[in-house]
Amino acid sequence: MMEIELPPVQQTQQDMDLIDILWRQDIDLGAGREVFDYSQRQREYELEKQKKLEKERLEQLQKEQEKAFLAQLQLDEETGEFVPIQPAQHIESEATRISNSSLENNNLLEQDGEALSFDECIQLLEETFPYGADDEASSSAIFHCLVPIQNDCSPDLIPVVTTASEPHTTVTDPDRVDDLEQTWEELLSIPELQCLNIENDSLEQVTVIPETRPALPESFYSSITMEKQIINSASTYMDAFEDSFNTTVHSEDLGQMNINSLETSTSFSADFCGGLYPALNSSMTISGTTSQAASKLLDEPLDISDLSKCKAFSGDNQGPAPEFNDSDSGISLNSSPSATSPAHSAGSSILNDASFGYSDSEMEDMDSTPSSVQSQHVEMYSLQPCEDTAYQPSSSVLLERQTTGLKPNGSLKKEPPASPGHSKALFAKDKLSNRLEARLTRDEQRAKALQIPFKVKEIINLPVDDFNEMMSKHLFSETQLALIRDIRRRGKNKVAAQNCRKRKLENIVELEHDLDHLKDEREKLLVEKGEYDKSLRTLKQQLSTLYLEVFSKLHDEEGKPYSPSEYSLQQTQDGNVFLVPKNKKPGIQRK
């Protein structure tokens, strides 16, 4: 395609005509008129330039924000954590913080008359974990036992969690053990510490955390990575969170969530993806007590700190299930076969198998069954997209990606409804996903399900050679190959059917047009026939008159006229006229 670039001032009418001609020549190739429009192309170039500058400014601003954030961080030598630098008047000792915390918790615990006070809890913990004379260190350690272990979206995002000294993990005195167990039960009856109510093994794992003081750069990098991720994707993730969160938390609870700072949003994000879901999901699978705690989480006003408290231990809940350590998400935890929900196991198995185990015909059967679980799977849970970037993932996909940290082509996990209410919320939320998914054809959904890295359009429209070449670059399973062949066959047949129907309609229209034309023609011919008949009658009339006139002028030898009943006039081919007796052959010729 030729390109003509002339400054607008130099474009004469002749140039414009030439451009127009060239455009008309290339219009069949899909070339737009703007291709030949220099001024428009220049405007586009300016626009791209502006976008580039805008992007650079944003990146610079982001770097400055990171620097400002780092400047506010201070390495806590005791805990190894990076903590925000607080104003001098707000700097408090760890003991004071614990004291304040105990006051707050006492206020909370006062609501539960039989529960232990927080100081008693602290004392109990000190007895359980005698950290020696270093009160500050022990307090710090205890504090970190209660403070959520930051977790969970990704191992990279785990902030530093430390214990002050080597924890003592064995209690040898049996009486003391009994007392401790009883006290622990009382301690766990505290609503705010419900999340501590986990298996003893898990508790031991919580308390027997080895002294892990990650190296500074790693924790530093983790914090930076987390902040960076939050900054970069805050808006996107918050949309997904908001969407999902609306389905999880009562609307009135949302009002109590004041997310107005980066730190809060960070905590919220970490809490949500690592804390809320694991807390909720694990609550279904561990024990009724934990379920109650989760129910309280749903029923009571949601407090981020509460989420944080539960987060650490729900994260640890994944500990006893090492087979799911590859994914640190609550969703993956929920996909554990130990899940007690039958619906879960059914849905999970169907999810895992539907897309990969069913043949095309079986998938077709499922597709044709709206109430089938497969259909719900396809509609409710967005399939992992292939390389087709045109597919916009639904909010649930975004949420799932963030919470699971799965790559786009990662293994698919399905999360069953946590509860009837949660299920309803999920259905409500996924109506949007349904609309988005509904835009995908079934073959596109199948291709996604089988993780076929081609666009359906490519599969269908590529010529045979290109198609074979494309196929030869990848290794596919039989199922994938069959699906690709079916997609190509169906796609071509679909187009053929559309063309066929189009032609059929065109033929029908053309035949109807022909029919109308023939009807018109018939009408014209009928009118013309009538005119001819009328003319013929006139001519016959004139001929009869002329005949009688001619006959009346004929006389015999005696001067008598011939009778028309006895004679008739006949004309031969040569033009001669004869008077012929009607009962005789022509014998007398009269000229």
Q: Which is nearer to DNA, 52 or 494 (CB)?
A: 494
Q: What are 487-494's contacts with CB under 8 Å, separation 24+? A: 487/443, 487/446, 487/447, 487/456, 487/459, 487/460, 488/459, 488/460, 490/443, 491/443, 491/456, 491/459, 491/460, 491/461, 492/460
Q: Which is nearer to DNA, 362 or 533 (CB)?
A: 362
Sign of the CA dihedral running 28, 31, 32, 38: negative
Judged by CB under 7 A, which stretch of 157-165, 172-180, 492-500, 535-543 contacts DNA? 492-500
Question: Which of 500, 518, 543, 546 forms a contact with DNA (CB under 7 A)?
Answer: 500
The amino acid that residue 367 corresponds to is D
**Smallest separation (angstroms) from DNA to the CB of 239:** 28
Question: Which of 370, 559, 575, 587 forms a contact with DNA (CB under 7 A)?
Answer: 370
- Which tokens go with 531? 């005119």
DSSP state, 147?
S
Number of residues that bind DNA (CB under 7 A): 28
Question: Which of 67, 424, 439, 492 forms a contact with DNA (CB under 7 A)?
Answer: 492
Q: Are 31 and 1 in contact (CB under 8 A)?
A: yes
- The Cα–Cα gap between 196 and 309 comes to 9
End-to-end CA distance of the chain: 88
> Per CB under 7 A, does 458 bind DNA?
no
Judged by CB under 7 A, which stretch of 4-12, 226-234, 404-412, 494-502 contacts DNA? 494-502
**Smallest separation (angstroms) from DNA to the CB of 494:** 4
- Residue given tokens 């004392």 in the structure block: 123
Question: Which of 494, 517, 529, 582 forms a contact with DNA (CB under 7 A)?
Answer: 494
> Per CB under 7 A, does 435 bind DNA?
no
Judged by CB under 7 A, which stretch of 93-101, 282-290, 305-313, 362-370 contacts DNA? 362-370
Judged by CB under 7 A, which stretch of 257-265, 339-347, 449-457, 499-507 contacts DNA? 499-507
> Per CB under 7 A, does 361 bind DNA?
yes
> Per CB under 7 A, does 359 bind DNA?
no
Residues 6+ apart with CB under 8 A from 336: 285, 321, 323, 324
**Smallest separation (angstroms) from DNA to the CB of 491:** 7
> Per CB under 7 A, does 509 bind DNA?
no
Question: Which of 195, 490, 562, 567 forms a contact with DNA (CB under 7 A)?
Answer: 490
> Per CB under 7 A, does 503 bind DNA?
yes
Q: Which is nearer to DNA, 246 or 375 (CB)?
A: 375
Question: Which of 325, 499, 541, 545 forms a contact with DNA (CB under 7 A)?
Answer: 499
Question: Which of 99, 123, 349, 441 forms a contact with DNA (CB under 7 A)?
Answer: 441
Q: Which is nearer to DNA, 152 or 379 (CB)?
A: 379
Question: Which of 168, 424, 474, 501 forms a contact with DNA (CB under 7 A)?
Answer: 501
Q: Which is nearer to DNA, 507 or 535 (CB)?
A: 507
**Smallest separation (angstroms) from DNA to the CB of 435:** 12
Q: Which is nearer to DNA, 485 or 534 (CB)?
A: 485
**Smallest separation (angstroms) from DNA to the CB of 481:** 11
Look at residues 260, 346, 341, 272 and name the one whose alpha carbon lies nearest to residue 304.
272
Look at residues 465, 464, 450 and name the one whose alpha carbon lies nearest to residue 363.
450
**Smallest separation (angstroms) from DNA to the CB of 363:** 10
Give the max Cα distance, the chain: 176
171 φψ region: left (φ > 0), alpha (ψ -120 to 50), beta (else): beta
Question: Which DSSP string corresponds to 18-29?
Answer: HHHHHHHHHGGG
| CA distances in angstroms from 476 to 175, 454, 480, 502, listed in the order given | 64, 12, 6, 36
> Per CB under 7 A, does 488 bind DNA?
yes
Judged by CB under 7 A, which stretch of 19-27, 155-163, 363-371, 387-395 contacts DNA? 363-371
> Is residue 147 classed exposed, middle or buried when 0-12, 13-18 and 19+ CB atoms within 10 A define those classes?
middle
- Hey, which residues does 561 pair with through a beta bridge? 555
Q: Please write down the HEC assignment for all residues of 535-590.
A: HHHHHHHHHHHHHHHHHHCCECCCCCECCCCCEEEEECCCCCEEEEECCCCCCCEC
Q: Point out which residues bind DNA (CB under 7 A).
A: 360-361, 364, 368, 370, 441-443, 463-464, 467, 486, 488-501, 503-504
